[in-house]
């Protein structure tokens, strides 16, 4: 059977243990490692990038977003799932900008983790209303709007989806409102995440060029 | 009279080129005879030797014309044209060359008043002259006024013409120009004064210009039909007097002397002469001419006094110029007065006031321009000061506003902090305290502890959702709550449905109120999750108009309250308390078919 390789990076032993159990329980998921520091995680990823990274952002020796950027840089289709305590928006957005395609609240039922991983591998991604609104704001900044609507990396459809999600609609409801399936909605969300990551990289390149760091 | 000499020198200078031949062409001596015939008196008539210029007194009796004879010799006929030139032939006359009519200059008669200011010149055809002695006769008619004839120039055209032309320019063309210019300046300054009546100096200067412009027409208008003559004469006196009065008042003000009575007295005097003449007619003319005009000379003395005062007070270049002009003006006026009264006979000499007035008006004009420029400068300086003051005030205002905003911010932060403290105390704090008490009492098993902690987490999440900055509003917070709770309902096998109706894009609700609404919803949903044994639960969120309110309905198909016991009752009273706190209406209906909880939160009265 084609299994999904998973690396868990979590510095709190309780959670590390819970996640490991949750993953090993699933026959379609395969643990390739469980580490609690950024350095160890980077060492594992440098050997081989797993299909899925489950990453806590606040690691004792650094920030999880660095790991995400590194992993996605090595392997573009690596799915990074961010573990967050409160779904604290700015950190999640930063992680998505670094290349993450999903996030999960730390206190979610453990069963959700496997489900979330499967959804990501199937091409979808979770999103909460406040993350949707943040994405909208970020990818359609006033400066972008001023130049031209086409300048926004978001397509009309994607913007529409984000708006509905921000209003509190579920994926199924968004799909119903737009005449598409819930599955398509989450696929769109994942695409949006990727765009933000690319968009952010573009911004970084642009800024670097402005600063004369690149030739 | 030095000034008269200077002015005559001016006239002479203009004719410098002709100076060399002057002596040969100028005739200052003539013979005079009274003779009634239409032709010149014979050689042996009673010729008297006279000196030119000459005045033939009007009081000489008889009605026979007087004849002036000038002889001159021509050495050899060169075939060039000659010219006879009289700088002044005040009352006209008829000229004969060698007995043949040369020219006729109109003389005053019953129909027309005539007084020539311009010079006269007549070309003499070469064949009218003969080698040797030639004779020029000038015939003048007797009348009630003195006849005045100037010296006579006779000579080749090229020698005489320049003398004539320069005099013509100075006595006639220049007068036209001065008249036109002063009238134009008068129109402009008076128009300015009419817009700014308080600036009396402009009015006086404008009037002085106007009067002087009219007065100068005297040099240009030399023939007046008899019916108009009186009017013209009255106007002339009014103009002369008006100029003297206006310019004197102007300079009195310049010197800083402003007695009201004097203005009235001057104005009254000014009007007296013309009115007397208009009413009295010819009978009063001699009187007015002598005493009214003479009286105006006193104004010159007033002006000199004012000028001395101004020089003493101001010690400025302008006041010195004013004094010089005033002296010149009085000298010129006296000179002209004596000329006009026939006390001095100098028909070729200039009228000095002609020049003095120009000087007086120029100095007055310079003074006004100077004052105007100064006042403009003052206005500009004032504007700059004003702009600076405004900028200063703006800066102060901005600083005040900034201070106010900082205070406002501080106040908001402080209020928010207080609110969060209060919330921690009432919400999470009391929840943890009661849970701690229960755990310590041993009343909770691990599962119960987990539940208590989970509730505390939920409470904290709500607080974060509603309190953290940059939130869009209630709908987003509701969405987040739903997003968070959905997995739990999925795990519990309960279908959670959300319905939205007529919702606007954003719903702005005070953070505190949003928190209470979310607590009610969370409480209702966790109750269903924990106790209701329901298969499905539906949340309906809608926006109703008239009056605007937000309506939240939670409906489940569980067992209702009765099946539950006191724990649920406590949750319900908490919900009621929260609803009350934000002025919302809570309605709970529970039965065997399930429970319906609705919350109506009025929007219109908010914000």
**pLDDT digit string (tens) for B138-192?**
988 877 677 888 889 998 888 899 999 999 998 899 889 999 999 999 999 999 9
Q: How many CB atoms lie within 10 A of CB B114?
A: 15
pLDDT at position A151: 57
Residue B459 structure tokens: 């409470």
Lowest-pLDDT range of A95-104, B98-107, B161-170, B523-532: B523-532
CB contact under 8 A, A111 and B491: yes
Choose among A179, A182, A153, A178: nearest CA to A163.
Answer: A178
Choose among B494, B500, B496, B572: nearest CA to B533.
Answer: B494
What is the Cα Rg of chain B in Å?
57
Phi-psi region of B182 (alpha: psi -120 to 50; beta: other; left: phi over 0): alpha
pLDDT at position B606: 46
pLDDT at position B464: 73
Q: Give B63's strand partners.
A: none
Mean pLDDT confidence for B428-457? 82
Q: Is A160 on the interface with B (CB under 8 A)?
A: no
pLDDT above 90: percentage of residues in chain B: 22
pLDDT single digits (tens) B183-222: 999 999 999 999 988 888 899 999 999 999 999 998 889 9
CB contact under 8 A, A105 and B484: yes
Q: Is A172 on the interface with B (CB under 8 A)?
A: no
Q: Is B320 on the interface with A (CB under 8 A)?
A: no
Mean pLDDT confidence for B90-107? 89
Angstrom distance (rounded) from CA B322 to CA B329: 10
In this prediction the ipTM stands at 0.74
Q: Closest Cα of chain A to B202: distance in Å?
A: 60
pLDDT at residue B470 greater than cutoff 60:
no
CB contact under 8 A, A130 and B484: no
Q: How many CB atoms lie within 10 A of CB B286?
A: 9
The residue that leads in pLDDT, A205 or B89, is: B89
pLDDT at residue B607 greater than cutoff 70:
no
Nearest to B478 among A86, A89, A168 (CB): A168
Q: How many CB atoms lie within 10 A of CB A170?
A: 19
pLDDT confidence bin for A202, thresholds 50/70/90:
low
Q: Is B390 on the interface with A (CB under 8 A)?
A: no
CB contact under 8 A, A86 and B460: yes
Best mutation target among B458, B461, B469, B476 (most A Cβ atoms within 10 Å) is: B476
pLDDT at position B563: 47
pLDDT above 70: percentage of residues in chain A: 85
Residue B602 structure tokens: 């009025």
The residue that leads in pLDDT, B571 or B244, is: B244
pLDDT at residue A116 greater than cutoff 90:
no
pLDDT at position B459: 80
Q: Give B30's strand partners.
A: B50
Q: Closest Cα of chain A to B197: distance in Å?
A: 58
pLDDT single digits (tens) B488-513: 888 888 888 888 877 776 677 777 78
Q: Give B10's strand partners.
A: none
pLDDT single digits (tens) B20-69: 444 578 888 889 888 877 788 888 888 889 888 888 876 655 678 889 99
Q: Is B484 on the interface with A (CB under 8 A)?
A: yes
Residue pointed to by tokens 């809608």 = B542
pLDDT at position A93: 84
pLDDT at residue B18 greater than cutoff 70:
no
The number of CA neighbours under 13 Å toward the Cβ of B127 is: 0
Q: Minimal Cα distance from A132: which residue of B?
A: B476
pLDDT at position B12: 54
The residue that leads in pLDDT, A206 or A125, is: A125
Mean pLDDT confidence for B256-278? 86
Task: For B145-167, give one letter per residue: b (16+ CB within 10 A) or e.
Answer: eebbbbbbbbbbbebbbbbbbbb
Average pLDDT score over chain A = 82
Choose among B556, B566, B505: nearest CA to B533.
Answer: B556
User: Torsions phi, psi of A199, nearest 5?
Assistant: -55, -45
Angstrom distance (rounded) from CA B487 to CA B492: 9
Q: Is B478 on the interface with A (CB under 8 A)?
A: yes
Instruction: From chain A, pick out residues whose CB is under 8 angstroms from the CB of B475.
Output: 129, 166-168
Beta pairing, strands B93-97 & B100-105: antiparallel
Q: Closest Cα of chain A to B587: distance in Å?
A: 24
pLDDT at residue A102 greater than cutoff 70:
yes
pLDDT at position B604: 61
Instruction: From chain A, pick out residues whose CB is under 8 angstroms from the CB of B488.
Output: 109
User: Torsions phi, psi of A34, nearest 5?
Assistant: -140, 105
Across the A:B interface, residue pairs with CB atoms under 8 Å apart total 63
Q: Minimal Cα distance from B483: which residue of A?
A: A128
Whether the ω angle into residue B53 lies within 30 degrees of 0, i.e. cis, is yes
- Cα angle B587-B591-B596, degrees, rounded to a multiple of 5: 35
pLDDT single digits (tens) B398-416: 999 999 998 888 887 887 7
């Amino acid at each position: 059977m084609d299994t999904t390789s998973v690396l868990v990076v979590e510095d709190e032993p309780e959670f590390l243990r819970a996640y490991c159990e949750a993953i090993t329980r699933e026959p379609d998921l395969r643990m390739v490692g469980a580490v609690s520091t950024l350095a160890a995680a980077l060492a594992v990823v440098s050997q081989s990038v797993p299909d899925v990274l489950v990453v806590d952002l606040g690691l004792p020796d650094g920030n999880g977003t660095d790991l995400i950027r590194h992993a996605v840089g090595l392997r573009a289709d690596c799915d990074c799932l961010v573990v967050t305590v409160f779904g604290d928006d700015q950190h999640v957005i930063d992680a998505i900008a670094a290349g993450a395609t999903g996030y999960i609240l730390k206190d979610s039922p453990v069963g959700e983790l496997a489900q979330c991983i499967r959804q990501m591998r199937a091409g979808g991604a979770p999103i909460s209303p406040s993350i949707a609104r943040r994405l909208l704001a970020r990818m359609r900044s006033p400066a972008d709007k001023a130049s031209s609507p086409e300048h926004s990396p978001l397509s009309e459809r994607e913007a529409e989806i984000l708006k509905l999600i921000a209003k509190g609609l579920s994926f199924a409801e968004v799909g119903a409102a737009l005449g598409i399936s819930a599955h398509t909605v989450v696929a769109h969300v994942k695409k949006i995440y990727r765009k933000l990551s690319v968009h952010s990289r573009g911004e970084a390149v642009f800024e670097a060029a402005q600063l004369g760091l690149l030739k | 009279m030095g000034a008269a000499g200077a002015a005559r020198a001016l006239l002479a200078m203009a004719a410098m080129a002709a100076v060399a031949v002057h002596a040969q062409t100028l005739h200052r001596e003539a013979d005079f005879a009274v003779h009634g015939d239409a032709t010149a008196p014979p050689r042996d008539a009673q010729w008297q030797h006279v000196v030119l210029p000459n005045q033939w007194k009007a009081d000489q009796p008889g009605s026979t014309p007087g004849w002036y004879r000038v002889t001159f010799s021509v050495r050899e006929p060169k075939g060039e044209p000659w010219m006879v030139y009289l700088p002044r032939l005040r009352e006209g006359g008829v000229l004969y060359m060698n007995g043949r009519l040369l020219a006729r200059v109109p003389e005053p008669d019953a129909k027309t008043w005539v007084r020539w200011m311009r010079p006269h010149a007549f070309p003499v055809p070469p064949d009218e002259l003969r080698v040797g002695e030639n004779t020029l006769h000038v015939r003048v008619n007797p009348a009630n006024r003195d006849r005045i004839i100037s010296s006579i120039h006779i000579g080749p055209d090229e020698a005489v013409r320049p003398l004539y032309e320069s005099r013509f320019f100075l006595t006639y063309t220049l007068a036209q120009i001065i008249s036109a210019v002063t009238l134009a300046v008068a129109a402009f300054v008076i128009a300015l004064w009419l817009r700014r009546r308080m600036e009396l100096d402009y009015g006086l200067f404008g009037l002085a210009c106007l009067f002087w412009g009219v007065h100068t027409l005297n040099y240009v208008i030399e023939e007046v039909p008899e019916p108009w003559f009186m009017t013209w004469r009255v106007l002339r006196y009014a103009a002369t007097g008006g100029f003297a009065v206006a310019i004197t008042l102007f300079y009195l003000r310049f010197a800083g002397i402003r007695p009201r009575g004097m203005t009235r007295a001057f104005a009254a005097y000014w009007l007296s002469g013309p009115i007397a003449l208009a009413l009295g007619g010819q009978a009063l003319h001699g009187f007015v001419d002598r005493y009214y005009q003479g009286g105006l000379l006193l104004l010159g003395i007033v002006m000199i006094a004012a000028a001395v005062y101004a020089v003493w007070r101001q010690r400025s270049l302008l006041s010195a110029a004013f004094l010089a002009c005033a002296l010149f003006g009085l000298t010129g006026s006296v000179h002209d007065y004596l000329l006009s009264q026939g006390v001095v006979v100098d028909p070729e000499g200039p009228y000095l006031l002609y020049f003095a007035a120009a000087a007086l008006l120029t100095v007055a004009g310079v003074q006004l321009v100077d004052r105007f420029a100064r006042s403009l400068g003052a206005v500009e300086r004032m504007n700059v000061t004003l702009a600076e003051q405004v900028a200063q005030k703006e800066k102060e205002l901005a600083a005040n506003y900034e201070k106010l905003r900082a205070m406002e911010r501080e106040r908001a932060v402080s209020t928010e902090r207080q609110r969060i403290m209060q919330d921690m105390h009432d919400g999470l704090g009391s929840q943890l305290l009661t849970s701690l008490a229960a755990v310590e009492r041993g009343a909770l098993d691990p599962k119960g502890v987990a539940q208590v902690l989970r509730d505390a987490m939920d409470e904290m999440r709500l607080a974060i959702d509603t309190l953290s900055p940059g939130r869009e509003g209630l709908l987003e917070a509701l969405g987040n709550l739903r997003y968070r709770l959905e997995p739990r309902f999925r795990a519990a096998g309960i279908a959670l449905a959300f319905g939205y109706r007529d919702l606007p894009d954003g719903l702005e609700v005070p953070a505190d109120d949003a928190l209470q609404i979310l607590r009610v919803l969370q409480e209702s949903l966790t109750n269903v999750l924990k106790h209701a044994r329901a298969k499905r639960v539906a949340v309906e969120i809608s926006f109703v108009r008239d009056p605007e309110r937000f309506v939240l309905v939670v409906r489940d198909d569980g067992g209702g309250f009765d099946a539950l016991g006191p724990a649920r009752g406590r949750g319900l009273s908490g919900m009621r308390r929260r609803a009350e706190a934000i002025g919302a209406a809570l309605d709970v209906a529970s039965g065997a078919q399930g429970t319906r909880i609705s919350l109506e939160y009025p929007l219109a009265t908010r914000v």
